[in-house]
Structure 1
Amino acid sequence: MNQLSSIKALVFDLDGTLLNAQKIISERNQKALMRSYQSGFKLFIATARPPRSVHTMVSKELLDCVSAIYYNGAYVRDANGKTMSFTISRADSEELIDLMCVHNETDSISIESEDILYALSDKTFAKNAKHMVLPPTIVTPPELKKLLANKILLFHCSSIVKRHIMNDKKRLSIVETDGKELMQIMAQNVSKSHAVAALCKKMNLSMDSVMSFGDDWNDLDLFKTCGYSVAMGNAVPDLKKYASMTTASNDEDGVAQIVEQLIEAQ
C-alpha cells in the first residue's frame, strides 16, 4: 500500500460495498471510515439511492463527515450542506412516460424528484418492493410529466422498451443494475464520476488522488476516472477488470480491510 501515499479522498458505493447483505454498515467499516476522516481523508458516499434512504442506513455521525452523491450523481450535497440538482429534460421525461403507457407497462416506471418517489400504479411497489424503501406517491400520467425528474426507474421492462431506450443513449445517461432488471435513467452526462469531479474541484483535489470502492455497473465511470479503484469480492466480474485491486466481499468488511491498510501506510 506504500505506493498509494498520494490518496487524499475515498469514495464509497453503498449497496454491495459499504453495506453488508443485511443493509447495515458494520462496526468495523464504521470505525475505519471515522478513523480515515480523523486522519485527514475527504470522504464521499456515491449511491443510486435517494437521500431519505441513505439517512436510514448511514449514521448521522458518518453523514456529518461526508459529501453525499445521490441518484448516481443527479443530486449532490457537499460537506457544508450545499446542494446541486440535475434533472432530465421535460421532453425526454414525457417521451419515456408515453412509451411505457403505449406498451402497457405503467407498473414498471417510477420517478425520483427531489427525494420523493412517484409512480403510476399501486402495482409498482407490489412488484418492485426490494428496490423501494416506502410505497411511492401515485399520480396520473399528466401529473408525472410535470415533475422535474432527477432519475427515472424502469423495472423489468420489456425488450422492446429497452431497445427503444438504448437508442437514446446520446441524450440520456443510462445504467442497468441488479442483474439488469433495473434501468436507471438520468440526464445526459450525469454520473457518479462527474459529481465527484465537481466536488473535488471545490476542494482543489485531483481525481488522481481519489480511491473509489464499488461492486456494480454504476460504479464503472468512477473506476475509469479515479486514480485508484477497489472492486469488492462480490462485484460483478466485468467490473473487476477495471479495478486497481480487489478486496474481500461486503460481508467480510472488504472496505475496512483496505482503508485500515491505507491509514497505516500514510
Structure 2
Amino acid sequence: MEIVKVKRKVDAIVLDLDGTLLNSNKEVSTRNLKSIVELHKLGIPIIIATARPPRAIKEFLPQELQEIAIFVYYNGALIMNQLLQLNEHYSIDSKINKQIIEYLMINEPNHLFSIEVNDKWYSYKEIDYRSFIKVSENPEVIDLEKIKLVSPTKILVSQLKNIEDFTKWFGDQVNIITTDSNSLTQIMREGISKETAITTLAKRLDFSLEKTMAFGDDFNDLGLFQLCGLPVAMENSIDELKTFAKEITTSNDEDGVANVLEKLLK
C-alpha cells in the first residue's frame, strides 16, 4: 500500500547536482542520500540531470547513488544507465563546431573555449580552468585544427562578451545556455537539453511528467521546471527559476532536497 501511495504523489525524481544535491563542499549529505535511497526502494526512478560529464560523478557521488541512478550528462547530450542498457549520445555536427570556433577566434578574441567529447575534455591552449569554473582538472591540450574536426558533445565558452550576437549567428543551430552567474556559456546540439532527455526517459520508462518532481537552481533547469509538474527550487536558486517553482526548499547547504523528499515518505 505504501508503494501505491508514494507513486500517486510522484512518478520520478530529477536532481540537478551543483547548487542542488551537492552542498558547497561538493558532497551529498547523509540526509539527502538516505531520502533518495528510500524512495528508490519504493520503485521511484532517480534521475541525476547535470551539466557535468560522467567522470565527475565518480568524484562527487557516493557509490550507492551511482548504482541506482539514471544519469543525464552534459545538459541532456548523454543519457546513461547500465542496468537499463541506456547509452544515448547526441553530439554537435563537426561543421557547426568548426563555424563556432572560427567565429570565436575572429569576434571574441578574449574568449576561452574548450570542448567535451563523450567524457574527454580538450582545449587548444594551456589554461588553469580550475581558477574560474567548478572543475578539479584541466583539459587535455591538442592542436586547434584537430578540435575543429570533431563532433563535440558540448562546447564550453568562458568570457563570452557578446552573447546576443553569438545567439543571432548560431541560436537556430545549437542550444545555448548561460550558467554560473553568466560566466559560462554551454553549447549543446540543437534541440538537446535536460528537458528533452527527461521526455525521452518518461516515454522509455513510462512515468508521468505531471508527477515528476524536479530539483534545480540555475538557468539550465528552466526548461525542466516548465516541463515537470512538480518543480522544486532551492533557496539559493536564481530568481528566474523560483518563478516557475511549485515549492521553494532550503538551500543546498541545508539539506534542501531531503527536506522535500522526506515528506513523501511520511
1:93 aligns with 2:117: no
1:109 to 113, 133, 139: 113
Give the superposition deviation at 1:133.
2.5
Give the superposition deviation at 1:175.
0.6
Equivalence map 1:34-113=2 (5 Å) = 34-78=37-81, 79-103=83-107, 105=109, 108-113=112-117
Give the superposition deviation at 1:158.
2.1
Instruction: Work out whether residues 107 and 122 of structure 1, in 8 Å CA contact, stay in contact via their aligned partners in 2.
Output: no
Change (3 A) 1:164 1:107: closer
Give the superposition deviation at 1:90.
1.2
1:166 aligns with 2:175: no
- Alignment match, 1:185: 187
Equivalence map 1:105-254=2 (5 Å) = 105=109, 108-123=112-127, 125=129, 128=132, 130-159=133-162, 162-167=163-168, 168-254=170-256
Instruction: Work out whether residues 74 and 186 of structure 1, in 8 Å CA contact, stay in contact via their aligned partners in 2.
Output: yes
Instruction: Work out whether residues 45 and 67 of structure 1, in 8 Å CA contact, stay in contact via their aligned partners in 2.
Output: yes
2:31 to 18, 21, 28: 28
- Corresponding residue pairs, total: 260
| Amino acid corresponding to residue 16 of structure 1 in structure 2 | G
Give the superposition deviation at 1:231.
0.3
Instruction: Work out whether residues 173 and 191 of structure 1, in 8 Å CA contact, stay in contact via their aligned partners in 2.
Output: yes
Report SS of the residue matched to 1:175.
strand
Give the superposition deviation at 1:4.
8.8
Instruction: Work out whether residues 7 and 44 of structure 2, in 8 Å CA contact, stay in contact via their aligned partners in 1.
Output: no
Structure 2's unaligned 5+ residue stretches are none
1:6 aligns with 2:37: no
Give the % identical residues.
Answer: 33
Pairwise CA RMSD: 1.8
Give the superposition deviation at 1:82.
2.2
Instruction: Work out whether residues 57 and 66 of structure 2, in 8 Å CA contact, stay in contact via their aligned partners in 1.
Output: no
Change (3 A) 1:104 1:138: farther
Change (3 A) 1:94 1:37: same
Deviations along 1:123-147, one digit per CA (max 9) or x if unpaired, are: 253654x332211111122100122
Instruction: Work out whether residues 46 and 70 of structure 1, in 8 Å CA contact, stay in contact via their aligned partners in 2.
Output: yes
Distance 2:7 2:238 in 1: 25
Structure 1's unaligned 5+ residue stretches are none
Change (3 A) 1:165 1:40: same
Change (3 A) 1:38 1:4: closer
Stretch deviating more after TM superposition (134-143 or 42-51): 134-143
Instruction: Work out whether residues 71 and 80 of structure 2, in 8 Å CA contact, stay in contact via their aligned partners in 1.
Output: yes
Distance 1:126 1:42 in 2: 33
Give the superposition deviation at 1:238.
1.3
TM-score (norm 1): 0.93
Distance 1:209 1:19 in 2: 24
- Alignment match, 1:260: 262
Report SS of the residue matched to 1:123.
coil
Give the superposition deviation at 1:106.
7.2
